[in-house]
Amino acid sequence: MEDKKANIIATLTVLSLLLVIIAARVYLKLSKPFYLLAGVDISLILAVFCFLVIRSRYNRERKNLESRYISEGRELRIEYSFLRKVAGVPTKFKLEDLEEATDGFRVQIGKGGSGSVFKGVLKDESQVAVKRIEGEEKGEREFRSEVAAIASVQHKNLVRLYGYSSANRYRFLVYEYIPNSSLDVWIFPGKRRLGVGGGCCLTWDQRYQVAIDVAKALSYLHNDCRSKILHLDVKPENILLDEDYRAVVTDFGLSKLVARDESRVVTEIRGTCGYLAPEWLLEHGISEKSDVYSYGIVLLEMIGGRRSITRVENKRTKKKKLEYFPRIVNQKMRERRVMEIVDQRLMEAKEVDDEGQVMKLVCVALWCIQEKAKNRPDMATVIEMLEGRVTVNEPPDSKLVVVDLLAAAGGDDDDVDDVTTGVRRVVEMPKLHIQRGRHFRFPSVCSSIISPVSPR
């Protein structure tokens, strides 16, 4: 605008100076005053030209410099945000940023125990999943532990936290977006992806790879971080699949940071029924082996394409009772009939021909769900087993009584939906007392469901 103004003034000045010369020529003829005036006029016109040339050069250079600074600034900003991402420093977002990114929280891609998850796109075009934590006190606790735990971790099989926001009554966590939903929709028939449809089935090889990926993520959390991180909510809903169907573990809402030298911690019961290790009930304190247990249950669910606990109806009495899949697997493994427990859809598609590999996965799973935590392998050993560097021996026989009890503790005959759907429900757990002679006293809610209780 200023440039234009200056150009107009310069042009008008030149024109008026030319007019002065013409007028002088008419009135003064070729007299001495005319030459004097013409000389002054021409010098002024030349001065205006020089001013215009210098000014335009100056402007050009200024513009060049400006655009260089802008692009350098942008590069710096990109570099800064890249470094933040690489260093894993979560950004504090404004609520308006998240509203804009999610288009007013329009596309919901998930719902869990602590809130809803929405799809969004940030200004730098990265796709994100924005988790809106709902609920007052519980939400605050989960929010804090999630930020604390995940802010410091960097592993390709663990979800990345881009940032967070704490505005009004909601708190938000902003994660990288993982496109292929969670493992449950890929292994359990009939499960649907929110807003996308359903009926998906992961191949055997993909399942085996997912088993290795999750083991690596957990091993990293247990062994390679500054503090030991216990996830404490390992289940198919918290295992996301990326574009190549590789696993990315998410949801650190229940996780716990533990000092390296602490072998066990005592904490209130948290987790999802069906995936809780027996030590939660026995009140001995929990450890990373509690994650190993939940992982073992997930392995069994991947092999069988079914939940570890299902509700079955007695054809004769029409009474519903809970069926416990790990016990069936244990029995089939001892009878060397492991192929009978493999997901029927995979068998029909003739996808699984390596019985040895099935046997290996079953044995690893049964090792992981050993009732005594010390008998379970650590996650690093599980990786070695799955990748074939360590021989997998047959696990000791186990009645799985305590485990069965824990599974059942989430619901009784009329109310078992939560235990059979993987929805987190931290129930008032029945206290299990160890009496002399090592008998267990079972509370009434469970006594009708569990199978033979024997002194152990």
* Residue 112 sits in the site that holds ligand ATP (CB under 6 A): yes
Rule CB under 6 A: say whether 219 interacts with ligand ATP. Answer: no
Looking at beta carbons only, is 272 or 330 nearer to ligand ATP?
Answer: 272
Residue 295 near ligand ATP by CB under 6 A: no
Of the pair 252, 367, the CB lying nearest ligand ATP is at 252
Q: Which of 41, 213, 233, 343 binds ligand ATP (CB under 6 A)?
A: 233
CB of 142 to ligand ATP, least distance (A): 7
Q: Which of 101, 117, 150, 379 binds ligand ATP (CB under 6 A)?
A: 117
Q: Does 287 bind ligand ATP (CB under 6 A)?
A: no
Of the candidate spans 105-113, 298-306, 376-384, 431-439, the one that interacts with ligand ATP by CB under 6 A turns out to be 105-113
The CB-of-6 to ligand ATP minimum distance in angstroms stands at: 55
The pair of structure tokens assigned to 224 is: 């390679």
Of 145, 181, 219, 290, which one interacts with ligand ATP (CB under 6 A)?
181
Give me the least distance between CB of 177 and ligand ATP, in Å please: 5
Q: Which of 17, 98, 102, 115 binds ligand ATP (CB under 6 A)?
A: 115
Q: Binding to ligand ATP by residue 401, rule CB under 6 A?
A: no
State how beta strands 115-121 and 170-176 pair.
Answer: unpaired
Cβ 256 to ligand ATP, closest distance in Å? Answer: 15
Query: According to CB under 6 A, which residues from 128 to 147 bind ligand ATP?
Result: 129, 131
The yes or no reply on residue 240 touching ligand ATP (CB under 6 A) is: yes
User: 190: phi > 0 → left, psi -120 to 50 → alpha, else beta; which?
Assistant: left
How many residues sit in the footprint of ligand ATP (CB under 6 A)?
23
One residue of 37, 149, 158, 159 binding ligand ATP per CB under 6 A = 159
Measured from the CB atom, the residue of 177 and 442 that comes closer to ligand ATP is 177
Q: Using CB under 6 A, which residues numbered 356 to 385 contact ligand ATP?
A: none
Report the 3 state secondary structure along the chain: CHHHHHHHHHHHHHHHHHHHHHHHHHHHCCCHHHHHHHHHHHHHHHHHHHHHHHHHHHHHHHHHHHHHHHHHHHHHHHHHHHHHHHHCCCEECCHHHHHHHCCCCCCEEEECCCEEEEEEECCCCCEEEEEEECCCHHHHHHHHHHHHHHHCCCCCCECCEEEEEEECCEEEEEEECCCCCECHHHHCCCCEECCCEECCCCCHHHHHHHHHHHHHHHHHHHHHCCCEEECCCCCHHHEEECCCCCEEECCCCCCEEECCCCCCECCCCCCCCCCCCCHHHHCCCECHHHHHHHHHHHHHHHHHCCCCEEEEECCCCCCEEEEEHHHHHHHHHHCCCHHHHCCHHHHHCCCCCCHHHHHHHHHHHHHHCCCCHHHCCCHHHHHHHHCCCCCCCCCCCCCCHHHHHHHHCCCCCCCCHHHHHCCCCCCCCCCCEECCCCCEECCHHHHCCCCCCCCC
The yes or no reply on residue 440 touching ligand ATP (CB under 6 A) is no
Q: How would you write 23-64 as a 3-class SS string? A: HHHHHHCCCHHHHHHHHHHHHHHHHHHHHHHHHHHHHHHHHH
**Is 202 among the residues that bind ligand ATP (CB under 6 A)?**
no
Q: What residues are paired with 193 via a beta bridge?
A: 197
By beta-carbon proximity to ligand ATP, the closer residue of 297 and 432 is 297
Q: Is 256 annotated as a binding residue?
A: no
For position 274 contacting ligand ATP by CB under 6 A, the verdict is no
The verdict on whether 233 is a catalytic residue reads: yes
User: Which of 41, 184, 213, 233 is flagged as catalytic?
Assistant: 233
Residue 86 C-beta: closest distance to ligand ATP, Å: 19
Asked if 301 interacts with ligand ATP (CB under 6 A), we say no
In whole angstroms, give the CA distance from residue 386 to residue 378: 13
**Pairing state of beta strands 170-176 and 127-133?**
antiparallel
Of the pair 117, 329, the CB lying nearest ligand ATP is at: 117
Residue from 98, 101, 109, 416 in contact with ligand ATP (CB under 6 A): 109
For 377, phi and psi rounded to 5 degrees? -75, 160
Q: Which is nearer to ligand ATP, 73 or 179 (CB)?
A: 179
Selected from 219, 250, 255, 330, the binder of ligand ATP by CB under 6 A is 250
CB of residue 173 to ligand ATP, shortest distance in Å:
8
* Binding status of residue 171 toward ligand ATP by CB under 6 A: no
Measured CA to CA, the distance from residue 66 to residue 144 in angstroms comes to: 43
Q: Work out how close the CB of 360 gets to ligand ATP at its nearest, in angstroms, rounded to a whole number.
A: 28
Active site residues: 233
Binding site for ligand ATP (CB under 6 A): 109-110, 112-115, 117, 129, 131, 159, 175, 177-178, 181-182, 233, 237-238, 240, 250-251, 253, 424
Annotated binding site: 131
